[in-house]
Structure 1
Amino acid sequence: MSRETDEEREKRYHKLFDEIDVKKTGKICSNDFIDTFKKRNHPLQNSEIAIIEIFHAFDSNNENYIDYKRFKEYLIQAEEQILHGFNTLDLDNDGRLCKDDIRHYLKNYLNIEPSDAEINKFFNSLDYRKDGIITYDEFRDFLLFMPRLHGSRIRTAYQFFNDKLEFTNSEGDVTVLDDFLKGFGFFLAGGLSGVISRTATAPFDRVKVFLIARTDLTSTFLHSKLEIENNIELLKHQKITEPNKIKSPIIKAAKTLYRQGGIKAFYVGNGLNVLKVFPESAMKFGSFEIAKRFLCTVEGVDDPTHLSKISTYLSGGFGGVVSQFAVYPIDTLKYRVQCAQLDSNLRGTQLLIKTAKEMYSDHGIKIFYRGLLAGVTGIFPYAALDLGTFSTIKKWYFQKESKRTGIPEDDIKLPNHIVLSMGAVSGTFGASMVYPINLLRTRLQAQGTFAHPHRYNGFFDCARKTIMREGYSGLYKGLTPNLLKVAPSVSISYLCYENLKSLFHLE
């Protein structure tokens, strides 16, 4: 292991910088960087795209130049990662690597089955002293200017030297296309995961909306005296003689929905839900990933996993706001459909079209955005707490497992049951914190319907009247079924998203 002092390391950094800063301006531009690497005996000297990748890693602020401060910051961070990797490879802790160490790491940490020829080629590339062993200095110097693709410099180097990673096209078209496809992949993974989770938990959402829309349950099938008299034969057949003994509002709501529409009643509006949730979830996760990468440039880090907590939470809030704007009109229409009379002759698409026409005819396009301010106000903290908390817990888990097992954080696998638990915690926490805002927004969207005939003059008027009629507890009506929906919904969503990211090779 290197016993380099701080002074020696500083001199080495200055020497490296001076070698690249051929014009002695104190700032290294991309052309200087490329020219220097082409002249140096570097493994990637003939691969301009690879050199540009390295330059961008240094140029964290995207200013197209590197000063000594950023140069040093990158080297310090890179060497910390390289030292961690060396210690993981060095099985017997003797400060030297042999071929068996390399083979063990590739097989057990990177899931690569190397052949003897591949091991020899890769090992000989690192062993530039040609003495049969690799010291830390050799390991560090070799990987220091190696792109960290897919989270691992070792993987990049191994694939490159064994012709499994090709850098071609000096114009960079391949890199641009790869970035585009990766960005699209985040949106696609997010959209698919949202559709799956929302469909699986649709009945919980239906009960939640049912409870939110009604200020009491006297209008439900179980409590309406007129309907009991008109349906006495049905009640006898169902053996319900004392409906008032049912005290749980969730059970009342569920039984009412079932008697008025059967199993299908729990999926009223789900077709619209799916139509809404794909772009909503796609925009949420996709915007979240974009925001994280943008804030990486602001903070000067080269990986979203190194972002500060505040930036991670802000990225989550941004993703939520973008998704809310994108699908808000569909959201409003869905609530209006769910609050229509269940015994209506209209069903499905006919009910959807009729509701949309009536909304537009009565109030124009603005009715589709009723409660938007409340929605955005509520979605930012919710998405920030949900996505931010999940990412924070995930990062903590990787750090804990890395310390426990000695495996680099980038190589830790996230078990599905852990993803489900993390999703349940983050989703429940976020939903509980902002539920009153969500309730008021829903009532603003549903006002004037069969289920919720009350009308309001805005968000604060809705809050005041809700508290007057139902007390402060009314702000949390429907919270239990909402949480019963949120926990599995968010868990399933994250489970699908994490696995789809792995399937699409997005991280």
Structure 2
Amino acid sequence: MAVQRITSNEAQASKNVSHDHFFLWREFVWGAVAGAFGEGVMHPVDTIKTRLQSQAILNGLQNQKNILQMVQHVWQVDGLKGFYRGAIPGITGSLATGATYFGVIESTKKWIEDSHPRLRGHWANFIAGAVGDTLGSFVYVPCEVMKQRMQVQGTITSWSSVPVKNGIAINPGTQMYDYYTGMIHAGCSIWKTQGVKGLYAGYLSTLARDVPFAGLMVMFYEALKDVTKYVEQKGISSPNWRVNHSFEGLVLGGLAGGLSAYLTTPLDVVKTRLQVQGSTLRYSGWLDAICSIWATEGMKGIFRGSIPRITWYIPASALTFMAVEFLRDHFNERVSNDNLRDVRRLSVDKKSLQEVS
């Protein structure tokens, strides 16, 4: 009976430890909430970025607008509603991406470090971020396609007056694709006219952008955290002073997101153009798109929209990491050190009992 009682206590203590360290559903929830929060707040900036990158397809290469001109145009033509077109599919996609991103990162990183010690550190962070984002792409990409098409459309009045299609004048009132009244209508319309291929337009280009972006962002974030810890140890005299995790997530997340966003802007330009070009293809694929943009628009075209992209990702990443760190600190249940000691003690007792028997 003594052995049975100890075994029961050990199981309970082990359960508590597992609850603390491997209860991954909370990471999925915190990631989803944080991702949706960041997307919702920064969606108007993303709308401007999407319109800047896609205007060559919708209006031809001539007279392309800069950032201020595009902001004025959206406000004058579509009003406040124009800045929030596509917000629902955008938030839906961010829910899925944030959940898989943060939910998978820690477990993947631990597995990599345990099974492949040589990949510890920056490589483990990069791979974990890339894996998390890849898994989320199955939900994120269709939402991204719907979001971006709704963003470039603006209001039904402005979309009906688009005078150019692939650089060729068209009759007023005709569009590259139907006007979407909402997310469900957009999804059904794309499915009906283009099938799965339409919903996953630019999928490989999205992975080509998001996998390195996600990997770089986690790698930069963890590297910056290491630098912060080093500075705390070397430069702070007071042992009671420490950086608040939420504030750390805000600052370091913003820096990591902004740097990663700039480095992957060319990939974002290609992805956006492939996703908004409609049924009449302007580009035959990723390679054709990058070569065509470079030949006709040069470096400026390759990095078009980089400023609003960085402007979006710095606060969006900052808010996302801040929210995750805040939720982790305030809602994750903690297992006391006594329980951890109990597990070690019970493990030893079990070994001793086995030797006696």
Same fold (TM > 0.5):
yes
Q: How many Å separate the matches in 2 of 1:506 and 1:327?
A: 30
Cα 1:500–1:47 shift into 2, 3 Å: farther
- Superposed CA deviations along residues 452-480 of structure 1, whole A, max 9, x for unmatched, are x7622111111122223322320111111
Q: Normalised by the size of structure 2, how large is the TM-score?
A: 0.77
The 8 Å contact of residues 402 and 412 in structure 1, kept in 2 or not, is answered as no
Tell me, what secondary structure is at the counterpart of 1:268? coil
The one-letter code sitting in structure 2 at the alignment partner of 1:188 is: V
Q: How does 1:314-463 map to 2 (within 5 A)?
A: 314-340=127-153, 342-344=155-157, 350-405=181-236, 412-414=242-244, 416-448=246-278, 455-463=282-290
More displaced 10-residue stretch of structure 1: 310-319 or 484-493 = 310-319
The one-letter code sitting in structure 2 at the alignment partner of 1:274 is: I
The 8 Å contact of residues 36 and 95 in structure 2, kept in 1 or not, is answered as yes
Q: How many Å separate the matches in 2 of 1:490 and 1:441?
A: 20
Q: How many Å separate the matches in 2 of 1:345 and 1:205?
A: 19
- Residue in structure 2 matched with residue 309 of structure 1 by the alignment: 122
The 8 Å contact of residues 44 and 84 in structure 2, kept in 1 or not, is answered as yes
Q: How many Å separate the matches in 2 of 1:197 and 1:255?
A: 24
The 8 Å contact of residues 189 and 500 in structure 1, kept in 2 or not, is answered as yes
**Which structure exhibits the higher relative contact order, with contacts defined as CA atoms closer than 8 Å and separated by 6 or more residues?**
2
- Residue in structure 2 matched with residue 501 of structure 1 by the alignment: 328
Q: How many Å separate the matches in 2 of 1:292 and 1:328?
A: 24
- Residue in structure 2 matched with residue 254 of structure 1 by the alignment: 71
Shift of 1:429: 1.2
- Superposed CA deviations along residues 334-382 of structure 1, whole A, max 9, x for unmatched, are 1122222533499998343343233222221121112111111221211
Cα 1:351–1:391 shift into 2, 3 Å: same
The 8 Å contact of residues 260 and 343 in structure 1, kept in 2 or not, is answered as no
The 8 Å contact of residues 421 and 491 in structure 1, kept in 2 or not, is answered as yes
- 2:41 is the alignment partner of 1:200: yes
Instruction: Identify, as 1 or 2, the structure richer in helix.
Output: 2
The one-letter code sitting in structure 2 at the alignment partner of 1:398 is: K
- Superposed CA deviations along residues 207-231 of structure 1, whole A, max 9, x for unmatched, are 00010111189679xx9xxxxxxxx
Q: How many Å separate the matches in 2 of 1:395 and 1:254?
A: 39
Shift of 1:408: 8.8
- Residue in structure 1 matched with residue 54 of structure 2 by the alignment: 213
- Superposed CA deviations along residues 295-341 of structure 1, whole A, max 9, x for unmatched, are 2322469xxxx942221222122222222233211111211222225
- Superposed CA deviations along residues 237-286 of structure 1, whole A, max 9, x for unmatched, are xxxxxxx9xx9711111111111221111111111211111111111111
- Aligned equivalent of 1:294, options 111, 114, 123: 111
Q: How many Å separate the matches in 1 of 2:144 and 2:250?
A: 26
Q: How many Å separate the matches in 2 of 1:363 and 1:486?
A: 31
Cα 1:179–1:48 shift into 2, 3 Å: farther
Tell me, what secondary structure is at the counterpart of 1:350? coil
Q: How many Å separate the matches in 1 of 2:149 and 2:249?
A: 34
The 8 Å contact of residues 211 and 253 in structure 1, kept in 2 or not, is answered as yes
Tell me, what secondary structure is at the counterpart of 2:156? coil
The one-letter code sitting in structure 1 at the alignment partner of 2:123 is: I
Q: How many Å separate the matches in 1 of 2:332 and 2:242?
A: 15
- Superposed CA deviations along residues 125-169 of structure 1, whole A, max 9, x for unmatched, are xxxxxxxxxxxxxxxxxxxxxxxxxxxxxxxxxxxxxxxxxx654
- Residue in structure 2 matched with residue 29 of structure 1 by the alignment: none
- Residue in structure 1 matched with residue 293 of structure 2 by the alignment: 466
- Superposed CA deviations along residues 19-50 of structure 1, whole A, max 9, x for unmatched, are xxxxxxxxxxxxxxxxxxx9xxxxxxx9668x
The 8 Å contact of residues 86 and 146 in structure 2, kept in 1 or not, is answered as no
Q: How many Å separate the matches in 2 of 1:447 and 1:491?
A: 31
Shift of 1:206: 0.6
Structural RMSD (CA)? 3.4
Cα 1:216–1:335 shift into 2, 3 Å: closer
The 8 Å contact of residues 185 and 506 in structure 1, kept in 2 or not, is answered as no
- Unaligned 5+ runs, structure 1: 1-37, 39-45, 50-166, 224-243
Q: How does 1:104-123 map to 2 (within 5 A)?
A: none
- Superposed CA deviations along residues 83-124 of structure 1, whole A, max 9, x for unmatched, are xxxxxxxxxxxxxxxxxxxxxxxxxxxxxxxxxxxxxxxxxx
Q: How many Å separate the matches in 1 of 2:285 and 2:41?
A: 33
- Superposed CA deviations along residues 29-78 of structure 1, whole A, max 9, x for unmatched, are xxxxxxxxx9xxxxxxx9668xxxxxxxxxxxxxxxxxxxxxxxxxxxxx
Shift of 1:170: 5.3
- Residue in structure 2 matched with residue 80 of structure 1 by the alignment: none
- Residue in structure 1 matched with residue 80 of structure 2 by the alignment: 263
The one-letter code sitting in structure 1 at the alignment partner of 2:249 is: V
More displaced 10-residue stretch of structure 1: 292-301 or 471-480 = 292-301
The one-letter code sitting in structure 2 at the alignment partner of 1:208 is: K
State how many pairs are aligned: 313
Q: How many Å separate the matches in 2 of 1:345 and 1:216?
A: 16
Q: How many Å separate the matches in 1 of 2:191 and 2:235?
A: 60
The 8 Å contact of residues 206 and 266 in structure 1, kept in 2 or not, is answered as yes
Cα 1:261–1:483 shift into 2, 3 Å: same
Tell me, what secondary structure is at the counterpart of 1:471? helix
- Superposed CA deviations along residues 400-459 of structure 1, whole A, max 9, x for unmatched, are 3134458899x954354443221222111111111111110111111127xxx7622111
The 8 Å contact of residues 245 and 325 in structure 2, kept in 1 or not, is answered as no
The 8 Å contact of residues 257 and 265 in structure 1, kept in 2 or not, is answered as yes
The one-letter code sitting in structure 2 at the alignment partner of 1:383 is: A
The one-letter code sitting in structure 2 at the alignment partner of 1:393 is: L
Q: How does 1:108-187 map to 2 (within 5 A)?
A: 169=11, 172-179=14-21, 182-187=23-28
